[in-house]
């Protein structure tokens, strides 16, 4: 029951930005592989695997502030960035599977020595979202997603600068993961769940996985004319 | 109870550039040679085949081809009184993993040292006086000369199919090449790569400033090429996925594209992937090695007897294995005695990012080593006495890739998120170029490697500990380069530019990628009291153990290390073939 309600509210939340997406033309319509015919997920219908409903509302709202729909170019919600982040939580990154995570931990050493927390990134998200929500309730009487855009921006800025501190997680580390993953989801190949229809690549002029430019090297100081392709053969 | 394998003549630890080359040289002698590679097997097909390499997130950001700190890492601290903490996630440097090693994922900048870099201490003393060497600086000569290595540099360049333009052919300066390089017996086997917009802008500006620009020597094939082993390279297609990726096009010189296809044909060569060497085993008198112990792909311990041990792992791992195996006396920074771990050094780099509103650089059209360079401020070109530092740099304007997660330089003052960030991204992407300074790093008494007292790996072995920080001499060097690059940047007339150089308050930061040029720790030299290896890369203490790689550098060159590593490997191979095999024992009497 609550899931249905959440979906409805989610749709309401992102309706404004979705309305702004122009119809996407998938190149010639010819796909290089069968996979290219699989349309990317619809964010409003997506059921997060890692995040709870409450966390998901936070992730959606935060991504929308980090890369908003305002101005030219797509925002994080039109490009499915939250889906990318949810998938990352379940992968090697979320679990810190490749990192050395043996004790003893000395999280108080200089930041010059890199990541020193015993928490995996997905634990940082879980604790960071919970603590931020509590902060928003205490300070503003609302959850993060219910705040107006200016207040949301203010809270994110406080996290980034360390003006808010939490007991069991670093606010600046939490924000750093959130921003890093948001940009990754925006610019990574759509195969990872974000960058829907390669919208960010079209926006900046990156040809994606074309990876063959011998004929173009000598054509200096001319804008490259071809649109992007993805790993699955989608053309934009 | 460990299993014991049948004896082989030679066991090699790691299968990157150095073991690939040594494998060819020693199988030529009819020896049975086995390589043990810690990481997975990998080859152009299927592992690097298009399109899967064109995936920035997986390879560029999540480091799919790199060493996993979970399996192997070290600890880092700034000073000898500090607590070292683990390098838990990759940042500053990226050791490779798997067959091909770092030779698979490099960019391909391939240099020879300047002749006097190999006798740096003597050169400084002769020209500027011993007094200018700071007390804590522990620079040394390599114990081998440029003239001795020249045929081996030439050999490596021909095997790797380097694209470039000679600047000094047998002492005669060649227009369009590097006039400051050591003499060459032959030109590069391939002509330079095609020039991108940043190359031509930098070249024309530098020439008009009276400097001497030339194309970066590239291990990216400018044309089709067949090397002396019969291995074929295809012309680089400037795919823009080079460093951190395996080459999808058979164009980047690597152990896979240049050596392994030929080596794998040889019946007296074998290799095993996913086999991690734990230590080199010594005979009871400690004077010879009997082979190695490794953990195989099933997790079982295996003893591999061998007559000759070639350590061809990444430089840091070579040092770690020497320390774990008890070969050579560990270095003590307080007394200055001991040798293993001594003189760890890195690379002092800096650079400028230039923004041109109306120019289209198409940064995604790039190769690892296409670029324009100059060496007017090299080690041999600078008056150390006058400038107050020891060292030098080369400058490069290179365009390696336009991958947007990582390659998104923004103007000064641009926000890092929000609507204004998005606007800055749109206005800036594709309109910037860089000028880099790639410089030497001297060796110091308190920059070294030893075993960490607190942290262990999955096998219970102590991690290695790196003690390293930036020193004033090298900061003065890079600040000198900053002034030069500031002037060159202005001369190019960009709409905006920003400089990024180390300053006197800079401390070593493990987070941002800097370079995978970790050198020293198992240094070569002329005296067993001050070096681990003799001039043939043979350990002074255990005559049937030879250690390849940049761990042999007594301090770091101004250049990328691979050209030197390749030349040294052929030099050592010649000594093994012509001197050691007929008469096994120390090649230099201590």
Q: State pLDDT tens for residues A57-98.
A: 999 999 999 999 999 999 999 999 999 999 999 999 999 999
Q: What is the DSSP string of chain A?
A: -HHHHHHHHHHHHHHHHHHTPPPPP-TTS--SSGGGGSPPPPGGG---SSS-HHHHHHHHHHHHHHS-SSSSS--TTTTTHHHHHHHHHHSTTTTTTTS--PSPP-TTS-GGG----SS-HHHHHHHHHHHHHHHHHHHHSS-GGGS-HHHHHHHHHHHHHTSS--SSS-HHHHHHHHHHHHHHHHHS-GGGS-SGGGHHHHHHT--BT----TTTTTSTTS------B-TT--B-
Ramachandran angles phi, psi of B239, nearest 5°: -70, -20
Give CA–CA dist B183/B277, Å, rounded: 40
Using alpha carbons, list the distances in angstroms from residue B563 to B24, B149, B501: 18, 11, 26
pLDDT at residue A36 in the model: 55
- Which residues in chain A have Cβ-Cβ distances shorter than 8 Å to B508? 112
Report which of B253, B296, B190 is spatially closest to residue B21, judged by C-alpha positions.
Answer: B253
Q: Show the tokens assigned to A22.
A: 């122009």
> Does the pLDDT at position A12 exceed 70?
no
Confidence of residue A23 (pLDDT cuts 50, 70, 90): very low
Q: What pLDDT is stored for residue A21 in this prediction?
A: 33
Partners of residue A234 in chain B, C-beta under 8 Å: none
Cβ neighbours of A157 (radius 10 Å): 15
- Closest-approach residue (CA) in chain A for B359: A221
**Which residues does chain B have within 8 Å of residue A216's beta carbon, measured at their own beta carbons?**
238, 362, 365
> What residues pair up with B531 in beta bridges, in sequence order?
none
H or E stretch at B466: strand B462-467
Question: Which stretches of chain B drop beneath a pLDDT of 50?
Answer: none
Contact (CB<8Å) A98/B423: no
- How big is the CA angle at B40 (ends A85 and B232), to the nearest 5 degrees? 105
| Peptide bond before residue B364 is cis, with ω within 30 degrees of 0 | no
Answer yes or no: do B511 and A224 touch at CB < 8 A.
no
The separation between CA A53 and the C-alpha centre of its own chain, rounded to angstroms, equals 16
Coil vs helix vs strand at B252: strand
3-state secondary structure of B238: coil
Comparing alpha-carbon positions, the chain A residue that sits nearest to B70 is: A100
B507: CB partners within 8 A, 6+ apart? A110, A112, B78, B469, B470
Task: Report which of B240, B51, B48, B402 is spatially closest to residue A36, judged by C-alpha positions.
Answer: B51
B89 contacts A115? CB cut-off 8 A: yes
Closest alpha carbon within chain A to B358: A221
Q: How confident is the model at residue A37 (pLDDT cuts 50, 70, 90)?
A: low
Chain A with chain B: Cβ pairs closer than 8 A: 174
Q: Measure in Å the smallest separation between the Cα of A45 and chain B Cα atoms.
A: 25
- State how far the Cα of B378 lies from the Cα of B383, in Å rounded to an integer: 10
User: Is A217 close to B196, i.e. CB distance below 8 A?
Assistant: yes
Residues of A whose CB is below 8 A from B197: 220-221
Which of chain B's residues have a Cβ under 8 Å away from the Cβ of A73?
A: 422, 425-426
The domains found in chain B, sorted by start residue, are: 3-580 (3.50.50.60)
The token pair at B58 is 């997986």
Taking CB atoms within 8 Å and a gap of at least 24, the contacts of B467-470 are: B467/B77, B467/B78, B467/B79, B467/B80, B467/B82, B467/B84, B467/B333, B467/B344, B468/B76, B468/B78, B468/B344, B468/B346, B468/B508, B469/B78, B469/B79, B469/B507, B469/B508, B470/B348, B470/B502, B470/B506, B470/B507, B470/B508
Q: Do A101 and B88 touch (CB under 8 A)?
A: yes
| B51 upstream amide cis, omega within 30 of 0 | yes
- Quote the pLDDT of residue A30: 33
Using DSSP's 3-state secondary structure scheme, residue B478 falls into: helix
Among candidates B91, B194, B454 on the partner chain, residue whose Cβ is nearest the Cβ of A104: B454
pLDDT at B590: 82
B432-439 and B393-398 strand pairing: antiparallel
Which residues on chain A are in Cβ contact (under 8 Å) with B91?
Answer: 114
The model's pLDDT over A186-208, given as tens digits with 9 standing for 90+, comes to 999 999 999 999 999 999 999 99
Please tell me the predicted confidence (pLDDT) of residue A24: 31
Please indicate whether, in this complex, the C-beta atoms of A100 and B418 are within 8 angstroms of each other.
no
Task: Give me the residues paired with residue B302 across strands.
Answer: B3, B294
Q: Which residue has the tokens 């690939």?
A: B20
Cβ contact B181:B167 at 8 Å: yes
C-beta atoms of B418 and A179 within 8 A = no
- Calculate how close chain B gets to A140, using CA atoms only, in Å: 22
Q: Is the Cβ pair B54, A209 closer than 8 Å?
A: yes
Q: How confident is the model at residue A5 (pLDDT cuts 50, 70, 90)?
A: very low
CA B11 to CA B53: how far, in whole Å? 32
Which residues, 6 or more positions from B185, have their beta carbon under 8 angstroms from its beta carbon? B150, B151, B154, B169, B170
Q: A221, B197: Cβ pair inside 8 Å?
A: yes
Residue A18 in this model has a pLDDT that exceeds 60 = no
Give phi and psi for B482, each to the nearest 5.
-60, -45
| ipTM surpassing 0.90 | yes
In whole angstroms, how far apart are CA A213 and each of A126, B33, B162, B367, B409?
43, 41, 20, 10, 22
Q: Do B89 and A114 touch (CB under 8 A)?
A: yes
Tell me how far apart the alpha carbons of residues A190 and A37 are, in angstroms, rounded to a whole number: 13
Q: Chain A: residue nearest B239 by CA?
A: A211
Over residues A162-177, the mean pLDDT reads 97
Both tokens of A45, joined, read 């219908």
Is B12 in contact with B23 (CB distance < 8 Å)? yes
The predicted pLDDT at position B222 comes to 98
Phi-psi region of B107 (alpha: psi -120 to 50; beta: other; left: phi over 0): alpha
B412 HSE (CA, 13 A, CB side): 9
Q: Which helix (H) or strand (E) holds B282?
A: strand B276-282
Predicted local confidence at residue A173, as pLDDT: 98
* Best residue of A31, A101, A206 to probe chain B, by most B CBs closer than 10 Å: A206
- Interface check for A106 against chain B (CB to CB < 8 A): the answer is yes
Q: From CA B367, how far away is CA B540, in angstroms rounded?
A: 41
Q: Work out the pLDDT band at A39, boundaries 50, 70, 90.
A: confident
How far off is chain B from A217, nearest CA to CA, in Å?
Answer: 6
- In angstroms, the CA A182 to CA A176 distance is 10
pLDDT at A144: 98
Specify whether B109 is catalytic.
no
**Marked catalytic residue, from B431, B438, B517, B543:** B517
Q: Is A15 on the interface with B (CB under 8 A)?
A: no
Q: Which residues of B touch A220 (CB under 8 A)?
A: 195-197, 200
CA distance B78 to chain A (A): 10
Place of tokens 């890092």: B416
Alpha-carbon distance of B419 to B423, in angstroms, equals 6
Closest by CA position to A98, among listed B89, B127, B373: B89
Confidence of residue A35 (pLDDT cuts 50, 70, 90): low
What integer is the mean pLDDT of A135-147? 98
Are B50 and B73 in contact, with CB atoms under 8 Å apart? no
| Residue A1 scores a pLDDT above 80 | no
Q: What is the pLDDT of residue A38?
A: 77
Given an 8 Å threshold on Cβ–Cβ distance, is A205 in contact with B507?
no
Contacts of A25 (CB under 8 A, 6+ apart): none
Among A113, A189, A190, pick the best mutation site for testing chain B contact (most B Cβ within 10 A): A113
Give the mutation candidate from B39, B50, B52, B54 for the A interface (greatest A CB count, under 10 A): B54
The minimum CA-CA distance between B372 and chain A, rounded to whole Å, is 14
SS3 B156: helix
């Amino acid at each position: 029951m609550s899931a249905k309600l959440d979906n409805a509210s989610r749709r309401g939340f992102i309706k404004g930005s979705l309305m702004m997406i122009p119809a996407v033309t998938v190149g010639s319509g010819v796909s290089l592989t069968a996979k290219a015919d699989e349309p990317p997920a619809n964010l409003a219908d997506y059921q997060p695997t890692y995040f709870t409903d409450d966390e998901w509302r936070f992730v959606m709202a935060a991504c929308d502030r980090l890369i908003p729909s305002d101005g030219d170019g797509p925002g994080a919600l039109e490009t499915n960035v939250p889906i990318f982040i949810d998938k990352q939580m379940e992968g090697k990154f979320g679990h810190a599977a490749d990192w050395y995570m043996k004790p003893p931990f000395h999280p108080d050493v200089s930041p010059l020595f890199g990541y020193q927390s015993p928490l995996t990134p997905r634990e940082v998200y879980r604790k960071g979202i919970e603590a931020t929500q509590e902060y928003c309730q205490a300070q503003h009487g609302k959850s993060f997603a219910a705040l107006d855009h200016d207040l949301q921006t203010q809270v994110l800025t406080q996290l980034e600068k360390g003006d808010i501190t939490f007991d069991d997680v670093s606010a600046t580390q939490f924000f750093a993961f959130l921003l890093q993953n948001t940009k990754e989801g925006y610019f990574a190949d759509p195969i990872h769940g974000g960058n829907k229809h390669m919208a960010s690549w079209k926006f900046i002029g990156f040809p994606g996985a074309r990876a063959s430019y011998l004929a173009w090297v000598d054509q200096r100081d001319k804008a490259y004319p071809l649109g992007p392709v993805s790993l699955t053969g989608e053309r934009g | 109870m460990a299993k014991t394998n049948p004896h082989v003549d030679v066991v090699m630890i790691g299968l990157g550039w150095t073991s690939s080359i040594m494998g060819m040289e020693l199988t030529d002698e009819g020896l049975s040679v086995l390589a043990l590679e810690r990481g997975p097997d990998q080859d152009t097909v299927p592992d690097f085949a298009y399109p899967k390499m064109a995936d920035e997130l997986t390879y560029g950001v999540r480091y799919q081809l790199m060493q996993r700190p979970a399996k192997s890492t070290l600890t880092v601290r700034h000073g000898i009184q500090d607590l070292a903490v683990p390098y838990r996630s990759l940042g500053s440097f990226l050791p490779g993993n798997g067959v091909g090693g770092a030779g698979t994922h490099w960019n391909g900048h391939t240099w020879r040292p300047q002749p006097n870099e190999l006798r740096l201490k003597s050169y400084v003393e002769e020209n500027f006086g011993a007094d200018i060497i700071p007390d804590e600086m522990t620079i040394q000569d390599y114990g081998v000369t440029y003239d001795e290595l020249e045929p081996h540099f030439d050999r490596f360049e021909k095997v790797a199919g380097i694209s470039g333009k000679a600047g000094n052919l047998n002492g005669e300066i060649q227009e369009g090449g590097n006039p400051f390089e050591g003499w060459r017996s032959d030109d590069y086997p391939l002509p330079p790569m095609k020039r991108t917009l940043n190359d031509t802008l930098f070249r024309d500006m530098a020439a008009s400033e009276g400097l001497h620009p030339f194309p970066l020597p590239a291990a990216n094939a400018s044309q089709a090429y067949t090397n002396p082993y019969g291995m074929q390279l295809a012309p680089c297609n400037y795919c823009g996925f080079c460093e951190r990726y395996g080459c999808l096009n058979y164009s980047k010189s690597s152990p896979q594209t240049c050596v392994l296809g030929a080596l794998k044909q040889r019946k007296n060569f074998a290799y095993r992937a996913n086999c991690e060497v734990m230590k080199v085993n010594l005979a009871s008198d400690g004077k010879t090695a009997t082979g190695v112990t490794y953990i195989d792909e099933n997790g079982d311990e295996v003893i591999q007897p061998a007559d000759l041990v070639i350590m061809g792992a990444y430089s840091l791992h070579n040092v770690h294995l020497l320390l774990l195996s008890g070969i050579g006396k560990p270095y003590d920074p307080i007394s200055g005695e001991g040798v293993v771990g001594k003189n760890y050094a890195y690379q002092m780099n800096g650079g400028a990012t230039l923004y041109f509103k109306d120019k289209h650089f198409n940064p995604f059209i790039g190769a690892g080593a296409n670029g324009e360079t100059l060496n007017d401020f090299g080690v041999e070109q600078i008056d150390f006495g006058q400038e107050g530092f020891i060292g030098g740099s080369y400058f490069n304007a290179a365009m390696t890739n336009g991958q947007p997660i990582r390659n998104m330089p923004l103007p000064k003052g641009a926000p890092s998120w929000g609507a204004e960030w998005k606007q800055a991204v749109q206005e800036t992407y594709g309109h910037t170029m860089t000028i880099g300074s790639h410089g030497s790093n001297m060796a110091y008494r308190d920059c070294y490697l030893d075993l960490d007292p607190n942290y262990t790996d999955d096998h219970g072995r102590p991690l290695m500990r790196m003690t390293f920080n930036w020193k004033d001499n090298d900061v003065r060097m890079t600040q000198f380069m900053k002034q030069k690059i500031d002037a060159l940047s202005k001369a190019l007339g960009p709409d905006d530019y920003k400089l990024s150089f180390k300053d006197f308050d800079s401390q070593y930061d493990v987070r941002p990628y800097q370079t995978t040029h970790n050198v020293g720790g198992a240094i070569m030299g002329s005296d067993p009291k001050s070096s681990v290896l003799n001039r043939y890369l043979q350990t002074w203490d255990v005559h049937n153990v030879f250690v390849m790689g940049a761990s042999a550098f007594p301090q770091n060159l101004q250049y990328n290390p691979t050209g030197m590593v390749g030349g040294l490997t052929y030099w050592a191979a010649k000594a093994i073939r012509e001197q050691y095999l007929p008469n096994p024992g120390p090649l230099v009497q201590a």
